[in-house]
Structure 1
Amino acid sequence: MALLLSVLRTAGGRVPGARVPGARVPSRRYSSRTSSSQFLHESVVPTMHYQKSLPRLPIPKLEETIPRYLAAQRPLLDDDHFRTTQTIALDFQNGVGKQLHQALVAQDQNNKQTSYISDPWFDMYLSARDSVVLNFNPFMSFTPDPKKEYDDQLVRSTNMVCSAVRFMKTLQAGLLEPEVFHLNPAKSNTDTFKNLIRWVPSSLSWYGAYAVNAYPLDMSQYFRLFNSTRIPKRGKDVLFTDEKGQHVLVLRKGNLYVFNVVNRDGNLVEPAEIQSHLKYILSDSAPKAAHPLGVLTSENRDVWAGLRDRLVAAGNAENVHLIDSALFCLCLDDESMRDHIHISHNMLHGDGCNRWYDKSFSIIVTKDGQAAINFEHSWGDGVAVLRFQNEIFRDTTEQPLVHPGSAALAVDSASAVRRLTFNLDSELQNGIKKAKENFDSAVSRLTIDAIEFKKGGKEQLKKSKLSPDAVAQLAFQMGFLRQYGQTVATYESCSTAAFKHGRTETIRPATVHTKRCSQAFVHQPGKHSVEQLRAMLADCSQYHGQLTREAAMGQGFDRHLFALRYLAETAGQAVPDLYTDAAYAAINHNILSTSTLTSPAVTLGGFAPVVPDGFGIGYGVHDDWIGCNVSSYPARNVHEFLQCVHKSLEDIFSVLEGKPITD
């Protein structure tokens, strides 16, 4: 179970949210050719075999949600404010909250094909009017290829495009290995078990996996990976998917190109031909786009919706459709990366001109072969994107289809590659100019810094019987207390993909235990013995583990309370007092927004703060070190915060080694 919880924390999105309309995999015709060049692998268990029998996301009991909510509020409020919030919360539990809960349960019983959170969460996400840049889209950078010569921009780009198409074909043919976490792989991750479970009816297959301690995860979001785009509409965006698209969208110098990567038979185009087309784009002498259309995707959603309507009306509908229906976006940057901070800024936002932020995902490859995925977050959470990235990294490094020195196919790329040109009137040109100004202003306020704590990691913490994730979260609490003298609202994402159409739940790492422990370490270092401090660390770890288990099993409080409020609002009811309480607003103003990621395919991940006075904390606890990649706006000092986090980790590991804390 501990392994499963660790994976679900990793897979959770920082700002999750998207409705998933079912476990549909788009159909597409394929030729009889099924060679290794077409598929990543050919699973004997169909991709969606477990989907029908996945358990449904439970709605927590209201009499359990309210105590959990109050427990999370306790470290954030003084006694007087807590008593007020407690009274309001208990009145809600015994009054209007009980009625809303009953209505939510009844509604859920009438919608057994999905989860209770899916529609409201999706609606919340696509109704947001802020720019997707910094506010929603995160990035995950690829680990460099172990064979350095394969990090050439043309070679790596070609291999990534080929592997991405192979992933898509494997998924759409139902041959992609189902997403299952094996707690006893010796029993469940075997050919014998797979050959047995594939004959179990889909309506019962989950139970067969569960019997051998394997947990299939929801895969209903996967079809949105390809041919998908978030389209701006006034008031609320829509997700668009066109499975007929056979082309990839490529951006370079703000210019947009398309060419087919799937042929008439539904097969991957010859890799040497894709290499030829990318070589053609990389050698195109066209100047940097005077009016880079992609920067419009960084605008306020209503502003972009109006400009998009004008763009279509100006005779650009065909080209706009080519963008929307492209399999995915490949961004070829002409810059080389100086260091990991430069990588973070470039992959998170770039210059705004060489991106189409609305595509489901973009693969970015820089001049020196650094690569990353930047993804639009509304269509799904981290489960699908991380699986995709892991598979692409494995395929490009173990089975690359082009090599350094490989000759590009002698084809007429000038005819096959189409550079899109647009009719832009003065209003559109001014809109692009204004969008670029707004973009530059927004990203100029963002600072990113990182640390690598080298004095210990997962192995030492587990020997001390402490949760590595709990210790990392405690270090953030200690660091913020050391810097600002406060305990503040903190968000840690946790996937609920163990359930049908599961989304995410929030772990609340700021607890009475972390507050007490942080104060002991930061403000009272000489008052407690090493043994007492170790006991406090154990309390923090144990309680954090409990919160993580509850969240992963759909027993947090955040999504339940959100759904109850959404139900009241959509029914036209007055918003209950619980939600107008200042404490409710404060706990949802997440000053510390955190997400963890550890994968051999990923070296760096990051996102912007979710509030102006917050930190965006991407972190990973590795075997013998801990890494943090943190962002902030001017209201906070990220460099000082990381120094405080580093000091906190030093103190924690000193105590674990039996040493007293030093100032």
Structure 2
Amino acid sequence: MNASPEPSLRTFGNEDDLPRVPLPTLDASGERFLEWCAPLLTADELSRTEAALASFVRPDGPGRALHAALERYDASEGVHSWLDTFWPYRYLGRRDRIALNANFFFLFKDTGEGQVERAAGLVAGAVDYKLRLDEERVPPVTRRGRPLSMEQNKALFSATRIPGPEQDTVRAPYSDAWPGPSRARHILVFFRGNMIRMDVIGPDGRPHSLDELMGGLRTIMKADPALEPSAGHLTTKARAEWAASRRDLLAADPGNAAALEEVETALFCLCLEDFAPEDDLEACDHLLHGDSANRWFDKAVSLIVFGDGRAGINVEHCGLDGTTVLSFVDDLLGSSAAHHSQRSGARSQGLPAIEPVEFVLDGGLRADMRDAAAAFAAYAAATATATVAFDDFGGDRAKRLRMSPDAFVQMAYQLAHRRAKGLTGATYESIATRQYRRGRTEAMRVVTPEAVRFVRAMDDPGAGAEERRAAFRAAAEAHVRRAKECQAVRAPEQHLWELQLIQKRRGAELGVDGPLPLFESPGWLKMRDDYLSTSSAPSANIRYFGFGSTSEQCIGVAYVLLPDRFNVYLSTPRPVADAMHAFAAELRRAVRELDDLLAAEG
């Protein structure tokens, strides 16, 4: 038997050899769906859901026709994955605002540098990464010796989401419209509402030196606050409304097309803030939403540097998941700015070219921008947030207690939520699937029968320590089993969701044009109505990770779980802020209590 060929060391060299995302059978997804939603349902709700599923998957039922269409699509030439149309719909099809609702952030570790030095170093590191990516010299990420998909790296530089009336599009390199890497040499710098184009790569393709980057930034930071409202405000609007504003912007003056060209082709944004946050929470909040005069939320990557040199990143989610951005950030922060600059071939060539990016505005556009700014500021103010930090608990402690670190904290979330709100609610966890071709994430649902029994046992006066420990370990083991199922794409939600979308797109053609009771069933609706939306970002280079909540009762739970520490950023709509703060307090209690419970094991 021939040994497997050695993986390519080129960034994108393994993409065609990665296994395809497996397409589950309809019956398997139906069985898992019932299993996953059952713990959230009453007996009557489960019975109604079972009936709806039986109708959907019967031999001559609509599910069979839709699944057959998906199988044909998966086997079509040029299709990389049965999820190829799912991902654009999921991310580009959403019609609400993406600012705060969809974009996510990382707060970087501190370096003690001043603002200009820190910003120039981050720019130098990003340009170094970009040039290595162009030449496919960024080594593929591997897991257990096997390469993961690096395709998302093509969305890091010069990628910009473009609003559309019905669905957004993406303007990006490595596309038919823009083959190969980005040829742009500039970034977009924001300061005090001013938008400035700054060249970071010289005419001969060599980056500017660190000293020159700092000089360029110092020049930019001499500017007074902008007199006109910032077009960045428009990127906070609901997508169809932003699409209409963009059309108005282009129609107002021919020069506005050139200004948008500078914005949309820029390698990335650098947002310089003229204040220092009081604490980590304020820094996180500004990374999540900030002053929209100083943002272009449609840009894939925005590096943000505060007045005291603290820094982070805001990421547009449609082409980038957390694991890809973490690899980029780890590279960015894993070496000194001088090393990045030297490796990139940077050389002195005079101060970078700097040019304001200005839009010609009429009264209607000015009013539109001011209204968008006020609406987004109010929306951000209506979002409550909190941080929870554990300096004496981390992954190593969980392992010493013979527990999966992620299972430990996920069960702590379940216990804290039950105690804070008095119920067990649908909980989402993002599971990476980049071991597959064009793999992104799978939707894990955390609430299992074992998790429900665990939280009940913890507050059952009649349950002793041994019974509680057994329930905790059983719940953790069930969590690990389900996570492994998700990693193998044996999960029901995205499969069934894509069948629902196929019916919306092609139902008449396929003879499936009536309502589908499955997607109105209690199981489908309750399983996907998040009370907790969770995701982790394990990196020693970041302090916090965060995103907005996904519904009116949801708490967004973004966590950095490292060997020696555990930091959590929470967000929720302000009307239910009291429940979030109760959850935060109960989480502190739950982690200590569960640690003590396992530590006392005989």
Q: TM-score, normalised by structure 2?
A: 0.92
- The Cα shift of 1:90 comes to 2.7
Counterpart check, 1:238 vs 2:169: yes
1:177: which partner in 2?
139
Partner of 2:105: 139
Cα distance per residue 1:388-427 (max 9 Å; x no partner):
111111133672649xxxxx979466xx210122210011
Q: State the Cα distance separating 1:493 from its structure 2 match.
A: 0.3
Q: How does 1:318-329 map to 2 (within 5 A)?
A: 318-329=258-269
Matches of 1:503 and 1:574 in 2, distance apart? 31
**Aligned-residue CA RMSD in angstroms?**
2.0
Q: 5+ unaligned residues in a row in structure 1: which ranges?
A: 1-42, 184-213, 403-407
Match of 2:279 among 304, 317, 339: 339
**Of 66, 82, 92, which aligns to 1:100?**
66
Match 2:36 to one of 63, 72, 84: 72
Aligned to 1:18: none
Distance across 2 between alignment mates of 1:621 and 1:220 = 26
**Match in the other structure for 2:85:** 119
Match of 1:652 among 588, 594, 598: 594
- The answer to whether the 8 A contact 2:210-2:338 is kept is no
Amino acid at match of 1:169: L
How do 1:355-374 and structure 2 match up within 5 A?
A: 355-374=295-314
TM superposition shift of 1:111: 4.2
* Counterparts of 1:92 and 1:657, CA distance in 2: 48
Deviation, 1:83, is 1.6
- Kindly state the Cα deviation for residue 622 of structure 1 after the two structures are TM-superposed: 2.7
Provide the residue aligned with 1:190 in structure 2. Answer: none
Mark the CA change 1:225 to 1:591 in structure 2 (over 3 Å): closer, same or farther. same
Distance 2:159 2:201 in 1: 16
Work out the CA distance in 1 between the residues paired with 2:52 and 2:351: 71
Q: Distance in 2 between matches of 1:121 and 1:324?
A: 22
Going from structure 1 to structure 2, the CA distance change for 1:412 and 1:160 (only over 3 Å counts) comes to closer
Q: Is the 8 A contact 2:159 2:171 kept in 1?
A: yes
For 2:436 and 2:67, the matched residues in 1 are separated by 20
2:93–2:168: 8 Å Cα contact kept in structure 1?
A: yes
1:603-630, CA deviations, whole angstroms, 9 ceiling, x for partnerless residues? 1111110112110101133324432211
Q: CA contact under 8 A between 2:418 and 2:455: conserved in structure 1?
A: yes
Give the C-alpha shift of residue 464 in structure 1.
2.7
2:201 is matched with which residue?
A: 262
Q: Tell me the equivalent position of 1:615.
A: 555
In structure 2, what residue type is equivalent to 1:563?
A: E
SS at match of 1:493: strand
Cα distance in structure 1, aligned partners of 2:414 and 2:243 = 40
State how far apart, in whole Å, the 2-side matches of 1:288 and 1:280 are. 15
For the 8 Å contact 2:457–2:467, the answer to whether it is kept is: no
1:440 paired to 2:377 = yes
- Separation (CA, whole Å) in 1 of partners of 2:203 and 2:472: 61
Identity %: 29
8 Å contact from structure 1 (residues 138, 375) kept in 2: yes
SS in 2 for 1:165: helix
Q: 1:436-457: CA deviations, max 9, x gaps?
A: 1110110011111111234533
Matches of 1:398 and 1:89, distance apart in 2: 60
Give the C-alpha shift of residue 513 in structure 1.
Answer: 0.7
* SS of aligned partner of 2:189: strand
Query: Separation in 1 of the partners of 2:361 and 2:380?
Result: 26
CA separation of 1:325/1:597 partners in 2, compared to 1, >3 Å: closer, same or farther?
A: same
Match of 1:571 among 492, 502, 506: 506
Could you tell me which residue of structure 1 aligns to residue 3 of structure 2? none
Structure 1 position 261, deviation (Å): 1.2
Aligned to 2:19: 55
Distance 1:659-1:398 versus aligned 2 partners, 3 A rule: farther
TM-superposition CA deviations, 1:130-152 (whole Å, max 9, x none) = 1111110010111112xx2xx21
State the match for 1:553 in structure 2: 488
Q: How far apart are 1:377 and its partner, in Å?
A: 0.7
Instruction: Say whether the 8 Å CA contact 1:155–1:275 is kept in structure 2.
Output: yes
- Report the counterpart of residue 460 of structure 1 in structure 2: 397
Counterpart Cα distance in 2 of 1:417 and 1:338: 32
Secondary structure of 1:235's aligned partner: coil
- CA separation in 1, counterparts of 2:472 and 2:183? 55
Aligned equivalent of 1:508: 445
Comparing 606-615 with 94-103, greater Cα deviation is found at 94-103
Deviation at 1:113, TM superposition (A): 3.9
How far off is 1:264 after superposition? Answer: 2.3
Give aligned pairs, total. Answer: 573
- The aligned residue for residue 640 of structure 1 is 582
Name the SS for the 1:505 alignment partner: strand
Are 2:162 and 2:298, in contact at CA under 8 Å, matched by a contact in 1?
yes
Aligned counterpart, 2:176:
none
Counterpart residue identity of residue 59, structure 1: L
How far does residue 268 in structure 1 lie from its aligned partner after superposition?
A: 1.3
Deviation by residue 1:334-353 (Cα, 9 ceiling, x = unmatched): 01011011011110000211
CA distance in 2 between counterparts of 1:409 and 1:221 reads 32
Aligned counterpart in structure 2 of residue 480 of structure 1, from 417, 426, 430: 417
Structure 2: distance between partners of 1:62 and 1:563: 12
SS at structure 2 position matched to 1:571: helix
2:214 is equivalent to residue 279 of structure 1: no
Query: Match for residue 150 of structure 2?
Result: 219
- Residue 577 (structure 1) shift: 1.3
Q: Is the 8 A contact 1:100 1:567 kept in 2?
A: yes
Q: 1:518 is matched by which residue type in structure 2?
A: V
- Does the residue aligned with 2:557 lie in a helix, a strand or coil? strand
Alpha carbons of 1:250 and 1:455: their partners in 2 closer, same or farther (altered >3 Å)? closer
**C-alpha distance in 2 between matches for 1:574 and 1:466:** 48
The aligned residue for residue 587 of structure 1 is: 527
How far the C-alpha of 1:469 sits from its partner, in A, is 0.7
1:598 aligns with 2:535: no
Counterpart of 1:655, as a letter, is L
Kept in 2: contact 1:254–1:293 (CA 8 A): no
Counterpart contact for 2:45–2:522, Cα < 8 Å: no
Structure 2 unaligned blocks of 5 or more: 1-6, 174-181, 508-512
How far residue 223 of structure 1 moved from its aligned partner, in angstroms, is 1.2
The yes-or-no answer on 1:381 pairing with 2:345 is: no
CA contact (8 A) 1:131 1:298 kept: yes
**Contact 1:51-1:219 within 8 A present in 2 as well:** yes
Letter in 2 for 1:155: E
> Are 1:229 and 2:193 an aligned pair?
no
Q: Give the aligned partner of residue 53 of structure 2.
A: 89
Instruction: Find out whether 1:304 has 2:242 as its counterpart.
Output: yes
Normalised by the length of structure 1, the TM-score is 0.83
Shift of 1:269: 2.2
Distance 1:289 1:58, change over 3 A: farther
Question: Is 2:439 the partner of 1:499?
Answer: no
Partner of 2:292, secondary structure, is coil
Is the contact made by 1:593 and 1:610 (CA closer than 8 Å) also made in structure 2?
yes
